[in-house]
Amino acid sequence: MLEQLEEPVKDRTSVELFAGGGGLAMAVHRAGFRPLLVNELVKYACDTLLANVAVRRGDEERIPGPNERWPLVSGDVSNVQFEYLWDRVDLLAGGPPCQPFSLGGIAKGDEDKRNMFPQMFRAIREIQPKAVICENVRGLLRPSFKPYFEYIERELRLPFIERDETTNWREHDEVLRDRLAEEPTDPKQRYDVVTMKVNAADYGVPQVRNRIIIVAFRSDLGIDMQRFEQAVSPRYSEAALIRSMLDGTYWERHPDVPGHVRERLMARLPDTPPKEDGMLPWRTLRDAIKGIDGQRPLPPVPWDRLDRREYGLGGLTDHIGWPDARIYPGHTPNELDRPAKTVKAGVHGVPGGESVMLTDDLLSESTAGSPYAYKHRYMTVRETARVMTFPDGWKLAGPRGEQMRQLGNAVPVMLGEFFARAIAAALDEAEGTP
């Protein structure tokens, strides 16, 4: 699988923490960064990385060559030492576990032992990377967490001012506030930080996925942060999708859509097209199944094969029908002609209607009683991987629930690559790279 990833255009380097199933790590690599170290705790996620791009590093602390597989250090990040990578890393990337801040979690916030932001800051102190990118849930911005999130941003600005074990975060925050008001004695130990609210659908991902992305650049590089924010502004919109349906260009891409489906959807659209915004149309679940950016269409899953068996449909792995899909209040299904709903890890990896999709097949009278007129089924793991913009050749380890968990916890590859390329371009400009 390693040779199928795009070759870096420049020998920039990266370190990935909390790598999970590899979404952000793959995105960063595609943007031209060579992984010097990848860390992950969960066994099945480690197995996924090993099956695709990684090799266990062992105890030897060494810098891999350009064509070597990614060195994976599995286990608790608190046991990983980074000093040997000092001043050799362009980009430190990772999505610290989000359960402490997610609306679906227990919401203990900074008191939750699963809060891994302190480990990100330790890695920065031991590596001194040129740039940092973190992805996390919107729950970080909830009013109840806002003071602590602002503290996280200040810690990222001054990561070398380490919090003493006897000091609570509010006391440390006061120290950071005072130091930020002063001129830095060493600009390499201060970072310029921007936090952006993003919806993955606005970046070409066929999924509505609201997250925050935090990007930091070392202050000595002199990055124009306002210019960077402009470079990562959205490129796709819902309004453009509606316009494409009204003017027919969407249906030209999908000429096989049954007439009754098209009529139902068109009846829901406004009579007047939304104002032109210069954006591309949101991509839909139907787009993902048909194939985006050169992918071949996924074959349909026959209704008589929702039996958990691998039939090798289309020669693809993990494109397996699953029985007993349900729709119930609070768990509405995915519709083919909208971006998919947010892929979630869930308690068991497949939380109710979150991974259920309506098809184009009408219900018969004998199966009526559903609030929807169409048959529904669970999305396959491969369909879900496409919604997360993983390539079809990426192998996900473990049983279905663990595969879905990895996808639900991942950063969509297309979203991560867009931001990583913008970071690479900003570094090139700052360093005068042609």
Which residues are catalytically annotated? 98
Neighbours of 25 (CB within 10 A): 33
- Report the greatest alpha carbon distance in the chain: 76
Edge-first strand listing for the sheet containing 33-40: 54-56, 70-74, 33-40, 12-17, 91-94, 131-137, 210-218, 191-199
**CA pair distance 385, 15, nearest whole angstrom:** 24
Q: DSSP letters along 309-344, please? A: ----GGG-TT----S----BTTBPPB-TTSPBPPP-
**CA pair distance 377, 322, nearest whole angstrom:** 7
What is the chain's alpha carbon radius of gyration, rounded to the nearest angstrom?
Answer: 23
Helix (H) or strand (E) holding 401: helix 400-409
Q: DSSP letters along 137-166, please? A: EGGGGSTTTHHHHHHHHHHHHSTTSPPPTT
**CA pair distance 155, 132, nearest whole angstrom:** 13
CA-based torsion, 253, 255, 256, 259: positive or negative: positive
DSSP assigned state of 106: -
Tokens of 343: 């892929």
Q: Environment class of residue 51 by beta-carbon count within 10 Å: exposed (0-12), middle (13-18) or buried (19+)?
A: middle
**CA pair distance 266, 68, nearest whole angstrom:** 51
**CA pair distance 71, 68, nearest whole angstrom:** 8
Half-sphere exposure (CA, 13 Å, Cβ side) for 432?
0
Q: Residue 87 corresponds to which amino acid?
A: D
Q: Environment class of residue 348 by beta-carbon count within 10 Å: exposed (0-12), middle (13-18) or buried (19+)?
A: exposed
